[in-house]
Chain A
């Protein structure tokens, strides 16, 4: 099966600081890849490179055959296919939950107001906050805001979802509801790259795991195999720390 997201020898620097030092990764259709690793190892940066929010200096990133780092690539168009959920949930505070989700379908896809609202209501119900349509984000809990962010991404009907530590900023009691939503997406067949510190999620939900260490993929393979029998010394140490 052909990879739908592929990184080949990707290098990325911020000024003199090289953050990605030749990343190779493949994700196939319907697959869930969990990315784990210490803070500062380049996980977030890699996600930003995949949807072109950050440029790369060397290598290639392809999404469905489109080269992301090609100058002629229409990034706004590409990003419609790639949903992203951030550690800080980033709801738009001046819009209600419904307006948050309806905005991009309306202005990017050109849907009518009513069609966009219909999609938004459907997605909010899908993530379990269908009763909060007219509520402003300020009145939602962190977990609800993060589910709002997921619904907002899903409303663009993306083929892929990128999650950047979607539960790290949440109070412990709110982590479960967001993980459940992500599980639901995985079971629906969504292709996902999930940066996470939740080892249970990585083990149970993902097909593959990639362990980042200082800007390189140090170990990768089937989730259960990698997590239960890590070969790399760094990964063994990392797992001992997070457990």
Chain B
């Protein structure tokens, strides 16, 4: 092998790569917040006694879970152009990742709600708590505990998926790496450095989530 490793270009580009990594995090966090909120609503929709919310949320969940993420990103970036809607790369990627996360988390939430016995609701209502108070103080906190680890997995998954945003023109971490690669042709060096950055981010998120989880849920073990 006569390939000569050459790292200085990577080191020179490091500030830009870190900036791009921050954009990756921003896109992921925003998508996660929107996706979780909609996912919660969809899980209510799927348990609704009315046909329309049930059908709409079922279709959403089915599409989000059974089509490729790349496809979802392309749809928001180019597909909506057919209807005269033109989203920026940033908005399109956030929309697609939120769409995807909402679909997955809706199912997770549904499982979480099913895991809470009906009698908890009755006990809370018998104390004079309204339906919403019961959800807010009794049911949802218990559901959050059930969905906490699936949720952190989804978050890491979103961070990794956001790399596809590059194909919709977003200069997030992978996009930025590709940009430097095309200018310097230090392909291996740049992609190795970026892989390490992704790895570190994923590990930090995982450990942080464990720590927070331990802090919130300690003592509740049943």
A binds B: yes
Q: Are A103 and B122 in contact (CB under 8 A)?
A: no
- Shortest A76–chain B CB gap in Å is 5
Residues from 102 to 143 in B contacting A, C-beta threshold 8 Å: 117, 119-120, 122-130, 133, 137-138, 141-142
Please determine whether B128 and A80 come into contact, CB atoms closer than 8 angstroms. yes
B122 and A53 contacting across the interface, CB-CB below 8 Å: yes
Contact of A107 among B123, B137, B141, B145 (CB under 8 A): B137
Asked if A94 and B145 sit within 8 Å, CB to CB, the answer is yes
B222 at the interface (CB under 8 A from A): yes
Q: Is B221 an interface residue (CB 8 A)?
A: yes
Say yes or no: is A181 at the interface (Cβ < 8 Å to chain B): no
Q: For chain A, which range describes its interface: under 10, 10 to 19, 20 to 34, or 35 or more residues?
A: 20 to 34
Q: What residue in chain A is nearest B116 (Cβ atoms)?
A: A93
Instruction: Enumerate chain B interface residues (CB-CB to A < 8 A).
Output: 117, 119-120, 122-130, 133, 137-138, 141-142, 145, 219-222
* Interface SS of B by simple majority: helix
Assess the B222–A108 pair: CB atoms within 8 A. Answer: no
Stretch at the interface among A83-91, A211-219, A235-243: A83-91
- Chain B residues within an 8 Å CB radius of A93: 142, 220, 222
Distance to closest chain B CB from A13 (angstroms): 19
Indicate if the CB atoms of A108 and B119 lie closer than 8 Å.
no
Interchain nearest-CB distance for A101 vs B (Å) = 10
Contact call B120/A92, Cβ cutoff below 8 A:
yes
Chain B residues with CB under 8 A of A86: 119, 122-123, 126
Supply 14 further A-B pairs (C-beta < 8 A) apart from A79-B128, A104-B127, A152-B127: A48-B122, A76-B129, A79-B127, A86-B122, A90-B119, A90-B120, A92-B142, A93-B220, A94-B145, A103-B137, A103-B138, A136-B221, A138-B221, A153-B127
**Interchain nearest-CB distance for B199 vs A (Å):** 34
Q: Given A90-B122, A156-B127, is A108 in contact with B220 using a C-beta cutoff of 8 Å?
A: no
Nearest A residue to B143, CB-CB: A94
Question: If the complex has contacts A93-B142, A138-B220, A138-B221, are A88 and B129 also in contact, measured as CB distance less than 8 A?
Answer: no
Q: In the bound complex, do residue A136 and residue B126 qualify as a contact, i.e. CB atoms below 8 Å apart?
A: no
Name the CB-closest residue of A to B217: A94
CB pair B133 A94 closer than 8 Å: no
Say which residue of A79, A92, A96, A139 sits within 8 Å of B126 (CB atoms): A79
* B142 in contact with A108 (CB, 8 Å): no
